[in-house]
Amino acid sequence: MKADDEELEQGRFFAVIAYLSILSLVAIIFKKSNKFAVFHGKQGLILFIWEVGALVVSIIPLFGQLILVVSWLLCFILSVIGMVQAGLGVYWKLPGALGKWAEQLEM
């Protein structure tokens, strides 16, 4: 689904940077009234939480390091896809439970 022109024009930059780790909060806080920016901000926040969780799990010897590397690789790939989709003005939902969790976030 594509965003309408005015919403897209005002929120595209914030939607794109929302996938850059903690900057997801910038989109959520400063563009509260822009559905497009908030949609992508919530998804970026879910990815950021996943990254932090993987960092915490990394204290487990060997197994934790493997989880960290795989998680960060997946988060990087999903972030790049999200940034491209946000730049194109598309409401792209993260796959699986991640997208559902992002929708359920109350902001």
Neighbours of 3 (CB within 10 A): 23
Burial state string for 32-62 with b = 16 or more CB within 10 A and e = fewer than 16 = eebebbbbbbbbbbbbbebbeebeeebeeee
Pair 7, 75: CB distance under 8 Å: no
2 — pLDDT class (breaks 50, 70, 90): low
pLDDT band for 9, please (50, 70, 90 cuts): confident
What are the tens digits of pLDDT across the range 41-77? 999 999 999 999 999 999 998 899 999 999 999 999 9
State the pLDDT at residue 6.
80
SS3 category, 94: coil
pLDDT reported for residue 5: 79
Check residue 103 and give its pLDDT.
86
Q: Give me the phi and psi of 105, to 5 degrees please.
A: -65, 130
* Residue 7 burial (CB count, 10 A): 18
Between the CA atoms of 90, 94, 98 and 102, what dihedral angle is there, to the nearest 10 degrees?
Answer: -10
pLDDT digits (tens, 9 = 90+) for 74-97: 999 999 999 999 999 999 999 999
User: What are the two backbone dihedrals, phi and then psi, of residue 96, each rounded to the nearest 5 degrees?
Assistant: 65, -145
